[in-house]
């Protein structure tokens, strides 16, 4: 497994250099016990994982809690966790790279706070990439609080016959990916 740092990239290939055909992006987090009104910690933080597809720099499609799959069926959201409670991954997106529409060249992975909480109130946050066999092969750990309500985690981009992953880790002022596609364009 590779522990990615901000800006680092990785070619999505199996042993022997064969391009991967499917991946899963899973995210997990815990909310800080001091989150909420004057540190009461009463309200859980509802983060949402999303994948937004682009073709030649233009928005194409997305999968998130309110639209569980892209039209081509290549990206599927596997369920909405509204609290971040429990062990392990809180939300995941499955990507069948063989089904991604041919003109789609970029897929952005995001985490956003549906209720508008600053991401300063989360801890132990991560995103991890899992291959088609269920093995984790890359992880991006978020070590510092983010003042914005969203985070652009990573970008998948076409790389010849395969795909490349780049860890981004930049805060963004979004509560859902549909709030402003224009804010995502600098990361495409």
38, pLDDT greater than 50:
no
Whether the pTM exceeds 0.85: the reply is yes
Domain residue spans in the chain? 2-176
Tell me the residue length of the chain. Answer: 188
Instruction: Kindly report, residue by residue over 42-70, the tens digit of the pLDDT.
Output: 466 778 889 999 999 999 999 999 899 99
- Edge-to-edge strands of the sheet including 150-159? 9-11, 162-172, 150-159, 106-113, 47-55, 58-63
Whole-number Å distance between alpha carbons of 180 and 20 = 31
- pLDDT for 54: 98
- CATH fold for the domain made of 2-176: Lipoxygenase-1 (2.60.60)
Strands (E), 12-105: 22-31, 47-55, 58-63, 75-77, 91-96
More confident residue, 123 or 132: 132
């Amino acid at each position: 497994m590779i522990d990615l740092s901000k800006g680092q990239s990785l070619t999505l290939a199996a042993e022997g250099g064969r391009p991967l055909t499917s991946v899963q992006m899973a995210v997990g987090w815990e909310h800080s016990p001091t989150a909420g009104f004057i540190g009461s910690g009463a309200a859980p933080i509802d983060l949402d994982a999303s994948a937004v597809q682009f073709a030649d720099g233009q928005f194409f499609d997305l999968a998130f809690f309110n639209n569980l799959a892209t039209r081509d069926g290549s990206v599927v959201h596997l369920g909405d966790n509204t609290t971040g409670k429990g062990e392990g991954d809180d939300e995941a997106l499955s990507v069948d790279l063989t089904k991604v529409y041919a003109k789609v060249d970029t897929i952005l992975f995001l985490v956003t706070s549906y209720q508008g909480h600053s991401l300063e109130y989360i801890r132990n946050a991560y995103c991890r990439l899992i291959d088609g066999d269920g093995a984790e092969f890359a992880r991006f750990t978020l070590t510092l609080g983010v003042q914005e309500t969203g985070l652009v985690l990573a970008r998948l981009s076409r790389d010849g016959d395969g795909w490349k992953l780049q860890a981004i880790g930049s805060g963004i002022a979004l509560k859902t990916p549909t709030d402003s596609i224009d804010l995502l364009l600098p990361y495409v």
